[in-house]
A and B are shown apart, each in its own frame.
Chain A
C-alpha cells in the first residue's frame, strides 16, 4: 500500500484548559473522499484545521506527504497545496470573484496575473459561474459564493481539499448545486476531507466515514458498512437523529 497523503499521529489539541482533540491517530489516502461527521462540538472543525495547521496543536503531529507539520519550516508554502472551503464562504468582500481566486496563486505561488486569471476562468467555468467573474461576492447568491470559494481553493491546484460544513449556511435549493460541484470533484479523483451533515452526499459520494465524538474518533468505516451497521451506540444515535430530520 502507498504512503498516506495525510498521517495524523497522537494528535491532541487544547483550547486553554479544554481538550478539543484527544489523542487522535488516523490517516487519509490520496484519491479518497472521507466524510467526517459527529455532534456539534465533537472537534470536527478542529481536526480539519489541524491538517493545515491553522490550529497549533500541542501534542502529536500531522504529516502531509511525509512532511511533519510541527517541524515544517515554511507552513505557508505547505498550505498552498491544500484547499479549504468554509461554512460561511469567507470570500474577500472587497475584491471581485476573479481577484479572490487569483490572489493566492499570484502572491503565494508566484504565478503571473495572466496565467492566474486564465486558470481562474476555467475553474469558474467548471463550477458554472464564469459569468460572475467580475462581480463582488455580495452580488452573488449563497450557492454561487460557495462555488466561487471552491474555485478559489482549486486555484491552488491542491493535493487535498478540506471542506468544513460547506452547505450548512445555504438554502436547500442552493445546497444541491454546491454538492454537485463537490461530487464532480470527488469523481475526478480529488482527495477530500468533508465535514458535513449531508448524509445523502456522504452515502452517495464518500468512500469512508469518520464519526467523531468528544474529541475522539469513535468509529471509522467504509461508507456502505457505516450506514448498514454502525456498531457504536453514539454513532447509531447520531444517525437516527440525523436521518429522522431528512
Chain B
C-alpha cells in the first residue's frame, strides 16, 4: 500500500469533492422549493392539480436516476432547441428526479400534522394562512427534518451519476487518478471513507433531529 498517492493528488481530489458538494447543494436548493409546490399539489382537493402531481412523482420514483439523467440530457436540448451545456442538463435531471423524493417527504410531513390541528387553529379565528404558518408548518418541518437530511445525503451520493456526462465530481476524479497512478485500492478506500464520513455526519444530525421531533 502506498497512501502517498492520496497526498500527492489531494488538490485534484478535493476539487472533485467540491464539485460533488456544489452539485448536491444546488440540487437541494432548487429541488426543495419545487417539491414544496408539488407537495401542495399532491394534497390539493382539486383533482386536476392532484393527478398530474401524482403522475409526476410516481414516474420519477419508478425510474432509476441514471435513466432520468440520460433522458433529460438528451431531452432538454430538444425542448429548448439548443444545447445548454453538460452541467445544466445534468442539473435539471437531478433536480427533477430528486424533487419527486422531496415531494413525498414534504407531503408526509404536512400530513403528519393532523387535520384536526388545522381545525383547531381555524376554530379560534385564525385565518387559513395564519394556521398554516404558525401551527402546521412548524410542526411539519420539525417532523420531516430527519427524512430531509437523510435525503440530502442520498442526493450527495446520487451526484456520482454525473460521471456519465464526464463531470469531474469526486468519484470520477478518484477514478481518473487511479488511471494515472494505478493505485485503485488506496484511492477507492479513501473515497469510501470520505463518503462514509459525509453519510455518518448526516445521519447523526438526522438522529439528533429525530429526538427533537414533536411528540403527538
Contact = CB atoms under 8 A, between A and B. Distances in A.
Contact of A90 (B119, B125, B134): B119
Nearest to A81: B125
A192 interface: no
Does more than half of chain B's interface fall in helix, strand or loop, or is it mixed?
helix
Given A54-B119, A92-B117, A93-B216, A107 B126 contact: yes
Nearest to A136: B215
B123 A54 contact: yes
B126 A108 contact: yes
Interface in B80-134: 114, 116-117, 119-127, 130, 134
B138 interface: yes
B126 A94 contact: no
B15 interface: no
B120 to A, nearest CB: 4
Contact of A80 (B125, B215, B216): B125
B134 to A, nearest CB: 7
Interface residues of B, number: 21
A94 B124 contact: no
Contacts of B130: 107-108
Given A90-B117, A94-B139, A156 B134 contact: no
Contact of A76 (B125, B138, B216): B125
Contacts of A91: 120
A103 B117 contact: no
A79 B119 contact: no
Given A88-B116, A103-B134, A107-B130, A156 B125 contact: yes
A88 B121 CA distance: 14
Contacts of A84: 119-120, 123-124
A113 B114 CA distance: 27
A82 B126 contact: no
A54 B126 contact: no
A167 to B, nearest CB: 17
A79 B123 contact: yes
A93 B139 contact: yes
Nearest to A139: B215
A92 B126 contact: no
Interface string B142-167: 10000000000000000000000000
B117 A76 contact: no
B119 A76 contact: no
Nearest to A152: B124
Contacts of A14: none
Interface string A79-104: 11111101010111110000000011
A78 to B, nearest CB: 8
A136 to B, nearest CB: 9
Contacts of A77: 125
A107 B134 contact: yes
A118 interface: no
A180 interface: no
Contact of B124 (A80, A88, A138): A80
B215 A93 contact: yes
A52 interface: yes
B55 interface: no
Given A93-B216, A138-B215, A86 B125 contact: no
Nearest to B141: A94
Interface in A4-51: 49
B65 interface: no
A82 B123 CA distance: 7
B214 interface: yes
27 contacts: A49-B119, A54-B119, A76-B125, A76-B127, A77-B125, A78-B125, A80-B125, A83-B123, A83-B124, A84-B123, A88-B116, A90-B114, A91-B120, A92-B117, A92-B120, A92-B139, A93-B214, A94-B138, A94-B142, A103-B126, A107-B126, A107-B134, A108-B126, A109-B125, A138-B216, A153-B123, A156-B124
Interface of A: 49, 52, 54, 76-84, 86, 88, 90-94, 103-104, 107-109, 138, 152-153, 156, 162
